[in-house]
Structure 1
Amino acid sequence: MSRDDPEPTAEPTDADQLLVLPDELRRELKEPMGPIETDAARLLADVDGPLVAVGDVVTYHFLRAGRPPDVSLVDERTERSAVDEEVRETVTEATTVEVVNPPATISRAVVEALLEGLAEDEPTTIRVEGEEDLAALPAIVATPEGGSVVYGQPGEGMVHVKVTDGNRRDVRALLDRFEGDVDRLWSLLEERASDDE
């Protein structure tokens, strides 16, 4: 499906929008949350456990390296521009689910799709209508200990976050500073954790 195709889904409601990024956190989120790597094969050598890729170019590099991420979140854009056709076709070929996540927000739909993807045995590709960038934050909280969340750092490369209790705590503290229904986010994440036990 291209961006020109009619959208079958309804416009998101306020109930679908869990969190909104406040202006004062924008600069803080530009700092990478882990080491930056430009070579996918080298990065993959340091990956144990589940791999979540946030971004079209990151996902593309992993697919080209022969390691489909366990969960990929793509929006057919990179640095605010459309990705080229080869990248778009490669990363959306195995789209499993489509969700709406407006820019500068974290929607309930993207969190639920992420959690469902992590619970699947097969790789899951989530095509986001809107923007997928902030999904890296709930991904770090939701990915099992020792897993990896990788997202793009504009103009620099791929940021590799190895999931630990410490960086989960840091991200939870960051998400607590967002505007919106933080309690609902924690409730969704805890429901899934209890389902997995």
Structure 2
Amino acid sequence: MGPIETDADRLLETVDGSLIAVGDVVTYHILEAGRAPDVALVDERTKRSAIEDEIRETVAAETHLEAVNPPAEISADVIRALVEAIARDEPTTILVEGEEDLVALPAIVAAPEGASVVYGQPDEGMVHVQVTDDHRTEMRALLERFEGDTERFWSLLEGE
């Protein structure tokens, strides 16, 4: 979806606007580089294993919202939390019980134009997506192929 970066400082130089971080390790590196993401989604796991204590203490120190999202799904609960977090003026961390990986997809759709969505690519680095209408269109098409109540999904994501 975007370039892969291994250096958070270099990645942050290209961020212009709001920043949504998906994943514990990504959020940790962004925080360590001196920037609090506007929205961070964490689940206290990386590659399906518990994260190190230092990372957990750093990324979950300021949990503002909680959501349940089973692995390999995108739940209504996590979409509600995402929409609420994006609307807030202060940085917001969402602690996900389950798995947050797929939430990068609706985050790209819900993020404002020009925002950055950063998610982890295991063993490679951080993928940086600067949100454009083309990205939103691509994500909408992909999300339409998911099983489930897509009509309800879109109404939740669009805040209706």
The two structures share one fold, judged by TM-score above 0.5? yes
> Residues 83 and 159 of structure 2 are in contact (CA less than 8 Å); yes or no, is this contact kept in structure 1?
no
Shift of 1:189: 2.4
Shift of 1:163: 0.2
Shift of 1:190: 2.5
* Structure 1 residues not aligned, in runs of 5+: 1-32, 193-197
Query: 5 Å matches for 1:160-179?
Result: 160-179=128-147
- Indicate the residue corresponding to 2:104 in structure 1: 136
Q: 1:70 aligns with which of 33, 38, 45?
A: 38
TM-score of the pair, normalised by structure 2? 0.98
Q: 1:186 aligns with which of 140, 154, 160?
A: 154
Paired amino acid for 1:103: P
Q: 1:119 aligns with which of 87, 112, 122?
A: 87
Residues 56-105 of structure 1 show CA distances to partners (whole Å, capped at 9, x for unaligned) of 00000011111000000000001111110000000000000111100000
Q: 1:89 aligns with which of 57, 62, 71?
A: 57
Among all aligned residue pairs of Structure 1 and Structure 2, give the percentage whose two residues are the same amino acid.
Answer: 71
Shift of 1:187: 1.1
Query: 5 Å matches for 1:20-31?
Result: none
Paired amino acid for 1:47: V
Shift of 1:176: 0.3
- Indicate the residue corresponding to 2:77 in structure 1: 109
* Structure 2 residues not aligned, in runs of 5+: none
Instruction: Say which SS state the counterpart of residue 159 (structure 2) adopts.
Output: helix
Paired amino acid for 1:43: L
Instruction: Say which SS state the counterpart of residue 100 (structure 1) adopts.
Output: strand
Paired amino acid for 1:88: R
Deviating beyond 4 angstroms after TM superposition, the runs of 4 or more aligned structure 1 residues are none
Let me know the Cα RMSD of the aligned residues: 0.8
Instruction: Say which SS state the counterpart of residue 106 (structure 1) adopts.
Output: coil
- Indicate the residue corresponding to 1:3 in structure 2: none
> Residues 66 and 94 of structure 2 are in contact (CA less than 8 Å); yes or no, is this contact kept in structure 1?
yes
> Residues 116 and 129 of structure 2 are in contact (CA less than 8 Å); yes or no, is this contact kept in structure 1?
yes
- Indicate the residue corresponding to 1:15 in structure 2: none
Instruction: Say which SS state the counterpart of residue 109 (structure 1) adopts.
Output: helix
Separation in 2 of the partners of 1:67 and 1:108? Answer: 29
Instruction: Say which SS state the counterpart of residue 105 (structure 1) adopts.
Output: coil
Separation in 1 of the partners of 2:16 and 2:3? Answer: 16
Paired amino acid for 2:152: R
Larger radius of gyration: 1
Q: 2:47 aligns with which of 63, 79, 82?
A: 79
Aligned length: 160
